[in-house]
Amino acid sequence: MLFRILDPQTKANQFWRDFDRLNDELTRSILDSQFGSASNYPPVNVYTKEDEALVTCLLPGIETDHIDINVKDNLLSIHGRKKAEELAEGTEVHRREIYNGEFHRTLELPFRVDQEHVLAKYSNGVLNIHLPRREEDKPKKVSIIAG
């Protein structure tokens, strides 16, 4: 914890409850960024337009058949495995910074997705997933008739 307030009476107060929550979240995220956390691997960016979303995901050095992408309603889940390079005998390891192992991420999108038209592309180590919004959920413009 970054800060610690040792006064149980403050717990009842809305402000301190919020403060504690913020405090908790901050501490966890700083620890994660320093020591790494499997829960936020791989890092993703999410961009949205009115009728589509784009999820970009940094996944260098992965085979495409080791990635599983599932979409249900407004949830996108990316699951996969990153295999470690096999080392020849007598190889001396000086540095190992690249992550290997299983990963699983679920992202919530602001709208329901048209599952049939999801498009995923992998190039230069970046996974791009295009997610179109469901036709029936798209905002409809109502035209006004002048009378």
Partner 1 sequence: MNTLTKEIKQEVTEAVEGKDQKSASNVRVYSPNVDVMETEEAILFRVEMPGVDQSSVEISIEKDQLILEGKFVPPAESRGQVRLAEYKEGNYFRKFTIGKAIHSDKAIAKMKNGILELTIPKMEPKKTKIEIQK
Applying CB under 8 A, the residues found at the interface with partner 1 are 18, 21-22, 25-26, 29-30, 33-34, 40, 43-49, 52-54, 58-62, 85, 87-88, 90-99, 107, 110, 122, 124-126
Q: How far is the CB of 30 from partner 1 (least distance, A)?
A: 6
Q: Which amino acid is at 16?
A: W
Report residue 96 as tokens: 């190992």
Three-state SS at 14: helix
- Residue 1 or residue 58: which is nearer to partner 1 going by CB? 58
- Residue 27 or residue 115: which is nearer to partner 1 going by CB? 27
- Residue 94 or residue 141: which is nearer to partner 1 going by CB? 94
Q: How far is the CB of 88 from partner 1 (least distance, A)?
A: 6
Residue 94 — φ and ψ, nearest 5°?
Answer: -95, -35
* Cα→Cα distances 112→86, 92, 129, 133, 138, Å: 41, 50, 15, 6, 10
Q: How far is the CB of 147 from partner 1 (least distance, A)?
A: 36
Q: How far is the CB of 90 from partner 1 (least distance, A)?
A: 6
- Residue 95 or residue 140: which is nearer to partner 1 going by CB? 95
Q: How far is the CB of 125 from partner 1 (least distance, A)?
A: 2
Cα angle, residue 134 at apex, residues 138 and 78 outer, rounded to 5°:
130
> Distance between CA atoms of 118 and 49, rounded to whole angstroms?
15
- Residue 9 or residue 124: which is nearer to partner 1 going by CB? 124
Which strands, in side-by-side order, build the sheet including 67-72? 67-72, 75-82, 101-108
Report residue 64 as tokens: 């495409």
